[in-house]
Amino acid sequence: MAADATSMPASDALPALPSETMLAEVEALAVELARAAGDEAHAALSRTIDVGYKANRKGKEDTGDPVSEVDHAVEALIRERLGARFPTHAILGEEVETHPADAEEWLWVVDPVDGTANFVNGFPLFAVSIGVLHHGRPVVGAIWCASTPALRAGVYHARLGGSLALDGVEVGARGTVVKRRLAAVPGGSSAGTKEWDHRVTGSAALECAYVAAGIFTSAPFWGLKIWDVAAGVALVRAAGLEAWTREGTAWRPFERFVPPAKAPKGQDRVPSLRDWRAPLVLGTAEATRLIRERQRTPGLVARVRRRLMARHR
């Protein structure tokens, strides 16, 4: 898949970062909102959940792209509380069709339930993702995960310049030494490579958090939505890991999210960050190097398959 969106060219100057005090304040609110949203999703599991389906490009119901009442309720909760605390900050959420301007200083990118198909079927691998961008650059991430290595729900969080933490406790190196590691492979693939075994969770945000936490060595994404990965990039970087994107055939370190050059086909409007799509590889230096060396532009069949699998998130 050729990239139809890019991160900022490395030669361009990035705006000055906000103060450490401001970043800490934003991170604290992101954690608070992610935890509140996660509690809402967890509570819903004890009752019957109303489920609808988004329309495909032809306007027909797509049973592979579910949306629950909880998705809408959680996004509304986040929007209300965020608006009360930072009324000048913009919000881009999966369930509300908005197109924030590229010039927004602060943009909160929200996926109220990532892994909705898992969630509505009772499969306990899903997440709530809140990423905060400053002039497009990921500076804060908070991902509530339904399951963590402690066998409980928890919020992985970080801010630019800080460390990765789980519920306020810094995340260190994994304590178990194994000969074969695990790697996330969204969309599915073979059982593994000689370096690692593959796992598919059904939640891109969860996979990002697991990469940051050292559970997975890496995760490659081929054109997911910005709300799937915005928080994850912040977490991965805080963990000292790498994020790479590709422009044409050239890979380079990811810098920030920018809108594509054109809006989607058939939409006569200015493109926005809601339209962002680009290959993105997260992980250790060695794992991302191997993926970049091995991965070529996926063919048509592979692109269709990955898009179909992405709809189940």
- What is the structure's pLDDT at 61? 60
Q: Are residues 211 and 232 in contact, defined by beta-carbon separation less than 8 angstroms?
A: yes
Which residues have C-beta within 8 Å of that of residue 55, sequence separation ≥ 6? 61, 62
- What is the structure's pLDDT at 229? 98
> Which residue in 207, 266, 214 sits closest to 238, CA to CA?
214
**Which regions of the chain are under pLDDT 50?**
1-11, 300-301, 312-313
- What is the structure's pLDDT at 48? 84
Q: Which domains does the chain have, with CATH numbers?
A: 20-310 (3.30.540.10)
- What is the structure's pLDDT at 190? 58
- What is the structure's pLDDT at 241? 97
**C-alpha angle 6/97/127, rounded to 5°?**
75
Buried (b) or exposed (e) across 288-305, using 16+ Cβ within 10 A?
A: bbbbbeeeeebeeeebee
- What is the structure's pLDDT at 305? 55
